[in-house]
Amino acid sequence: MSRTIIISNRLPIKIESEEGGFVYKKSAGGLATGLGSVYKEGDNLWIGWPGISSGSKEDYQKITADLSKENLVPVFLTEEEIQDFYEGFSNATLWPIFHYFARYAVFEETFWESYKGVNQKFCDVIIQHLRPDDTVWVHDYQLLLLPGMLRAHFKDISIGFFQHIPFPSYEIFRSIPWRRELLMGMLGSDLIGFHTYDDMRHFLSSVNRLAGIGYEHGQISIENRRVTVDAFPMGIDYEKYATTATLADTLAREVRYRKSMGEEKIILSIDRLDYSKGIPQRLRALELFFEENPEYLRKVSLFMIVVPSRDNVERYRLLKVEIDELVGRINGKFGRVNWSPIHYFYRSFPLEALSAFYRMADVALVTPLRDGMNLVCKEYIASKIDQQGVLILSEMAGSAKELSDAILINPFDIKQIVDALKQALEMPKEEQKKHMAIMQSSLKRYNIHHWVSLFLDRLAESKAQQRHSITQKLNQKAHQEVIKSYQDAQKRLIFLDYDGTLAPFTKDPDQAKPTPELISLLTQLSNDPKNQVVVISGRGRDSLGLWLKDLPLDLICEHGIWRKEKNEDWHKAENISDEWKQTIKPVLELYVSRTPGSFVEEKNYSLVWHYRKVETGLGELRTRELSSHLKYLTNNMQLQVLEGNMVVEIKPAIVNKGVAAKMWLEKYPADFVIALGDDRTDEDTFKALPEDAFTIKVGFEATEARFFVPSTVEVHALLADFTEVS
Ligand code: GDG
């Protein structure tokens, strides 16, 4: 039976040693709750670090045995690995880069080596437990290389990856020396999820620019797989927070805490200690708020919880000092004997206390400078059952995309936070309730369980799509099948596209001249009396016609406008005019002047705008603009606008490679028909051929062809094998 294996850096437990054994405390975090229903079921597993870095062999054996009863598998890490992999590469390299704190990032070769080593360690443990029909779900930035490592062992296994923190813009991500390896590691997955659409498009753009791999509708084609990239905003365990808020223990705590605070209004903030959370900025905003609005002194105070985190790292220690000093300064400046502007706790609390704080708070002030999602703001809303309250939320948190009923602020704009505080404290109760109800109904629906099933269903769907894709790789078996049919045939019709199929695609179209090896291959193939070889291309006859003029083969140029059978003259398709060029050429020239690196190629009866030398991204953008401009212009002109490989081509609509291929099929009936091509225009050829023809796409994009091969190398190998048999 197929199982689901969850992988994350930390297991959802905490181990404490007690005399004579260990005590295992379950984590109550959102992810642990959400995935609890998954990993505890049947033979499913959760694999990760159990949180301890020292112990005897016997201890580790005991822990492994104890955890296996809970469907948990430990990956033990050493002190050194914790330092270099976890505190080093994960938290001192990736964390600052991914949160746009590039100046804090440390690039250390030893950290990177350790990161690779620990990802490999995870891979080795997983392999011992994995079965080929399992589904693996890898979590977060500590394990970016793992999907690629697993893929190398299990070609067909279903792998999902979710990143809980932001994915930065390409301009930031590119500064990591090991950027390409990280991307390739992630691309081992079948489905890659982020919290927001922005993270997703930043990732796609990095893949495009750094690995040179394009994408269409959020899908990346790599080797023989299609990787789906999408946004899955994570929810919370809504019922848990809503229920805890009504428990007797929570309500008793609320009464107790309230009593000690008096009548004053409460602004609440809860974060882990982290520079991405914007804690000093928030404190400065509070200081300014009291300076500008002294009437609020003694009437409002900030209840601030900072949960200790990574505080053995220098950067975090410094942050702690900065926060302590700011709190001291503000309390010293505005405090009175019986009133403090800030109640500050550097510790964590049990869920019931947290729930009581959420209930007590008139305003939640959530101001991260960057946050993948931020669950605290969602928990605040879920806890406000039958209560009002106002959420002030940073637009830099992923959750801001969903919670548009909050007061959204730019956390770098301290004046805006001050205004937001005033607005929140003065907001009429009815208005508060209205916004709260809207946000609650959304969070109730898009809860953590919804998120888990959405991701896993999407992963299953993407994998099923991949497995049922009709285009198969031309593997050894299929290759032999093609050779056998070729050998058995008496008459063969062979259609070969040129650029990207016979000759590798180059930045400079003039560099695509056939090599002596290619000339020799085509000559041998054409000399076989059973073969009718047709080179079918969008190229003009002034290049391809000249290059191949001495070979005994047929040529179809400019998508069929010019046709030449061997030893005969060129023929032009009928009813073709070139008058339209006068109207279209100036438009293409306009796009050349706006797009450095692009140029216009003029063929006898078609025009091509090339952008293969244009900055990545800009060319694609201009293509969208140009295509829609041209489609409007050519409405009644019987022209076709084709988007090809780094080109936009305009040609008479009555000719295309499919129409030309059909003419050859009628004239030269054959019992073996094959077509090879890499471009969108070759799809017309594939579609025109009979079902039993061998149609082979060069490359990984979606296609009508029956088979695909990765590159021109495999095309040459197949043609060379043809020449070996007869
Ligand atoms: C990462 C991403 C993304 C806090 N104090 C106490 C306590 N907490 C709990 C909160 C909340 C969690 O910790 C914090 O979650 P966040 O989402 O706010 O932030 P990160 O820890 O940075 O999480 C983040 C998240 O992953 C999920 O994908 O949203 O963007 O950075 O659940 O309630 N819990 C208890 N006592 C405390 O004192 N029990």
Q: Is 90 exceeded by the pLDDT of residue 382?
A: yes
Which amino acid, one-letter code, is at 654?
I
Catalytic (active site) residue 497: yes
Residue 349, ligand 1, Cβ within 6 A: yes
Structure tokens at 128: 């011992």
Q: Is 80 exceeded by the pLDDT of residue 465?
A: no
Output the CA 367–ligand 1 centroid distance in Å.
14
Residue 353, ligand 1, Cβ within 6 A: no
Which amino acid, one-letter code, is at 177?
P
Average pLDDT taken over every residue of the chain: 93
pLDDT given for residue 167 in this prediction: 98
Residue 631 backbone phi and psi in degrees, to 5: -60, -35
Give CB contacts under 8 A, 24+ apart, made by 244-247. Answer: 244/351, 244/352, 244/355, 244/383, 245/355, 245/358, 245/359, 245/382, 245/383, 245/384, 245/385, 246/385, 247/352, 247/355
Cα–Cα distance measured from residue 403 to residue 419, given in angstroms and rounded to the nearest whole number: 19
Pick from 313, 223, 299: which is nearest to 263 by CA? 299
Average pLDDT over residues 647-664: 93
Output the CA 374–ligand 1 centroid distance in Å.
7
Q: Could you tell me which residue, 523 or 33, shows the higher pLDDT?
A: 523
Q: Is 80 exceeded by the pLDDT of residue 663?
A: yes
pLDDT given for residue 312 in this prediction: 77
- The atom of ligand 1 lying closest to the CA of 398 is 30
Question: Atom 15 in ligand 1: which residue has the minimum CA distance?
Answer: 375
Cα–Cα distance measured from residue 469 to residue 550, given in angstroms and rounded to the nearest whole number: 41
Q: Could you tell me which residue, 54 or 446, shows the higher pLDDT?
A: 446
Q: For 436, how many CA atoms within 13 A lie in the half-sphere containing its CB?
A: 25
How far the first Cα of the chain sits from its last, in Å, is 48
Q: How many CB atoms lie within 10 A of CB 301?
A: 24
Question: Atom 6 in ligand 1: which residue has the minimum CA distance?
Answer: 348
Give residue 1's pLDDT band: very low, low, confident or very high (50, 70, 90): low
Residue 396, ligand 1, Cβ within 6 A: no
**Catalytic hit among 497, 554, 679, 684:** 497
Residue 89 per-residue DSSP state: I
Residue 233, ligand 1, Cβ within 6 A: no
Q: Which domains does the chain have, with CATH numbers?
A: 4-231 (3.40.50.2000), 238-436 (3.40.50.2000), 472-573+655-725 (3.40.50.1000), 581-652 (3.30.70.1020)
Residue 307, ligand 1, Cβ within 6 A: yes
Q: Could you tell me which residue, 303 or 468, shows the higher pLDDT?
A: 303
pLDDT given for residue 617 in this prediction: 81
- Range of weakest confidence among 55-59, 136-140, 205-209: 55-59
pLDDT given for residue 80 in this prediction: 96
Average pLDDT over residues 703-708: 90
Cα–Cα distance measured from residue 720 to residue 726, given in angstroms and rounded to the nearest whole number: 12
Residue 366, ligand 1, Cβ within 6 A: no
Helix then strand then coil, in percent of the chain rounded to 5, is: 45, 20, 35
Task: Say which residues have a Cβ less than 8 Å from residue 328's Cβ, sequence separation at least 6.
Answer: none
Mapping DSSP to helix (H, G, I), strand (E, B) and coil, where does residue 161 land?
A: strand
Give residue 470's pLDDT band: very low, low, confident or very high (50, 70, 90): low
Q: Between vectors from CA 50 to CA 2 and to CA 456, what angle results, nearest 5°? A: 30
Give residue 688's pLDDT band: very low, low, confident or very high (50, 70, 90): very high
Average pLDDT over residues 63-77: 95
Output the CA 20–ligand 1 centroid distance in Å.
33
pLDDT given for residue 511 in this prediction: 79
Question: Atom 10 in ligand 1: which residue has the minimum CA distance?
Answer: 376
Average pLDDT over residues 524-551: 93
Q: Is 90 exceeded by the pLDDT of residue 139?
A: yes
- The atom of ligand 1 lying closest to the CA of 399 is 29
Strand pairing class (694-698; 672-677) = parallel
Q: Is 90 exceeded by the pLDDT of residue 459?
A: yes
Percent of the chain residues past pLDDT 90, beyond the cut? 76
Could you write out the three-class secondary structure of 491-506?
A: CEEEEECCECCCECCC
Output the CA 236–ligand 1 centroid distance in Å.
10
Structure tokens at 421: 């505080």
pLDDT given for residue 693 in this prediction: 96
pLDDT given for residue 637 in this prediction: 85
Output the CA 268–ligand 1 centroid distance in Å.
15
Q: Is 90 exceeded by the pLDDT of residue 610?
A: yes
Average pLDDT over residues 244-251: 94
Q: Is 80 exceeded by the pLDDT of residue 701?
A: no
Task: Say which residues have a Cβ less than 8 Å from residue 685's Cβ, sequence separation at least 6.
Answer: 495, 497, 536, 657, 658, 661, 675, 677, 695
Please tell me the pTM assigned to this model.
Answer: 0.81
Q: Could you tell me which residue, 322 or 32, shows the higher pLDDT?
A: 322
Residue 190 backbone phi and psi in degrees, to 5: -95, -30
pLDDT given for residue 40 in this prediction: 85
Cβ proximity of 106 and 132 under 8 Å? no
Cα–Cα distance measured from residue 376 to residue 303, given in angstroms and rounded to the nearest whole number: 14
Looking at the DSSP assignment, which residues form a beta bridge with residue 136? 5, 159
Residue 471 backbone phi and psi in degrees, to 5: -80, 120
Average pLDDT over residues 617-635: 87
Residue to probe by mutation, ligand 1, list 270, 306, 403, 446, most atoms within 8 Å of CB: 270
Cα–Cα distance measured from residue 329 to residue 1, given in angstroms and rounded to the nearest whole number: 62
pLDDT given for residue 28 in this prediction: 67
pLDDT in tens, 337-373: 889 999 999 999 999 999 999 999 999 999 999 999 9
pLDDT in tens, 424-453: 999 999 999 999 999 999 999 999 999 999
pLDDT in tens, 2-43: 799 999 999 999 888 877 788 898 886 668 877 887 888 888
Task: Say which residues have a Cβ less than 8 Å from residue 631's Cβ, sequence separation at least 6.
Answer: 641
Which strands, in side-by-side order, build the sheet including 215-216?
Answer: 72-74, 45-49, 4-10, 135-139, 158-162, 191-194, 225-231, 219-222, 215-216
Give residue 509's pLDDT band: very low, low, confident or very high (50, 70, 90): low
The residue with tokens 């049990």 is: 350
- Range of weakest confidence among 439-453, 502-516, 704-718: 502-516
Residue to probe by mutation, ligand 1, list 375, 401, 443, 451, most atoms within 8 Å of CB: 375
